């Protein structure tokens, strides 16, 4: 896994930078202004991918935690640990950009809307997972407790996704995932999907880097790490 992550990291970094440049150019320069929101809507090219990734990363963390609890695979725990701060960052970006959009659209920075509140709960779940990892004395106990929290917290994901359908909220309903007849014009939808891909590659790039670091920390006394260190010293 250490070597595979090392091979994938530069490839993911290149794909991320290229798609970010293309997506931002198409979204901020080429795409027309919205007929109702003007140029304010352009924040969706950051907000929507960040919000999608906040849920996607949590699902990765929860599935990895479940695998760790059932089969005791160390690499699954490493993936969950590596994903937590990345997912927390995406969630924070989603909340902040949502506030920046909400001020001109709703007249307020924050409202206890169902989707906003459930997204805030998601941030607390990430922070709770990270806090549990460092709060307990034994690494094994911390890993198990945090994994249980991640698995239980996955119930919040469908609440975030369906909140605009289950409750009367200010947040706009789904307009992008209706691929049979999306509510967005193709000139806006295309850069948005490119930005989603860019955020995906950004996540996997950071995941690979963090996984390599965590593997080295946990296997510091292993013979292969010593051999790797020797190779780099001789090189």
Question: What pLDDT score was predicted for residue 179?
Answer: 44
User: Over its length of 235 residues, how does the chain's per-residue pLDDT go in tens digits?
Assistant: 999 999 999 999 999 999 999 999 999 999 999 888 888 889 999 999 999 999 999 999 999 999 999 999 999 999 999 999 999 999 999 999 999 988 888 788 888 888 899 999 999 999 999 999 988 888 899 999 999 999 999 999 999 888 767 655 656 666 555 445 556 788 999 999 999 999 999 999 999 999 999 999 998 888 888 887 777 777 6
User: Is 154 among the domain residues?
Assistant: yes
Cβ–Cβ < 8 Å for 65, 90 = no
Q: Which residues contact 103 (CB under 8 A, 6 or more apart)?
A: 109
User: Is 37 among the domain residues?
Assistant: no
Residue numbers of the domain that contains 92: 2-32+42-234
CA distance 113 to 104: 16
Name the residue among 94, 70, 93, 67 with its Cα closest to residue 80.
67
Query: Measuring CA to CA, how many Å separate 160 from each of 52, 113, 166?
Result: 10, 11, 10
CA 228 to chain centre: 31
Question: What pLDDT score was predicted for residue 232?
Answer: 73
Question: What pLDDT score was predicted for residue 134?
Answer: 87
Q: Tokens 């963390």, residue? A: 61
What three-state secondary structure class fits 219? coil
Cβ–Cβ < 8 Å for 159, 118 = yes
User: In which element (H, E) is residue 126 found?
Assistant: helix 114-135
Q: How many CB atoms are located within 10 Å of the residue 116 CB?
A: 21
DSSP assignments along 87-119, one per residue: HHHHHHHHHHHHHHHHHHHHSSS----HHHHHH
User: Is 148 among the domain residues?
Assistant: yes
CA distance 13 to 203: 10
For the chain, the domain total comes to 1
Phi, psi of 54 (to 5 degrees): -60, -40
**Which tokens go with 142?**
């911390």
Name the residue among 69, 225, 72, 76 with its Cα closest to residue 149.
69
């Amino acid at each position: 896994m250490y070597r595979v992550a090392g091979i994938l990291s530069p490839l993911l970094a290149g794909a991320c930078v290229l798609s970010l440049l293309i997506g931002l150019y198409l979204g901020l320069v080429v795409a027309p202004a919205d007929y109702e929101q003007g140029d304010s809507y352009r924040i969706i090219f950051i907000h929507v991918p960040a919000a999608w990734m906040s849920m996607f990363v949590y699902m990765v963390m929860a599935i990895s935690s479940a695998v760790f609890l059932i089969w005791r695979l160390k690499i699954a725990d490493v993936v969950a640990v590596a994903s937590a701060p990345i997912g927390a960052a995406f969630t924070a970006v989603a909340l902040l950009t949502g506030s920046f959009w909400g001020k001109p659209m709703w007249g307020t920075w924050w409202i206890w809307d169902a989707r906003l509140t459930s997204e805030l709960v998601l941030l607390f779940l990430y922070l709770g997972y990270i806090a549990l990892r460092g709060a307990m004395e034994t690494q094994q106990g911390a890993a198990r407790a945090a994994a249980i929290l991640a698995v239980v917290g996955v119930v919040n994901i469908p609440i975030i996704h369906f909140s605009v359908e289950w409750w009367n909220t200010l947040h706009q309903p789904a307009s992008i995932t209706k691929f049979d007849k999306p509510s967005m014009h193709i000139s806006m939808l295309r850069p948005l999907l490119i930005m989603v891909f860019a955020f995906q590659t950004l996540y996997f790039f950071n995941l690979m880097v963090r996984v390599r670091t965590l593997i080295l920390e946990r296997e510091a006394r292993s013979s292969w790490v010593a051999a790797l260190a020797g190779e780099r010293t001789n090189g």
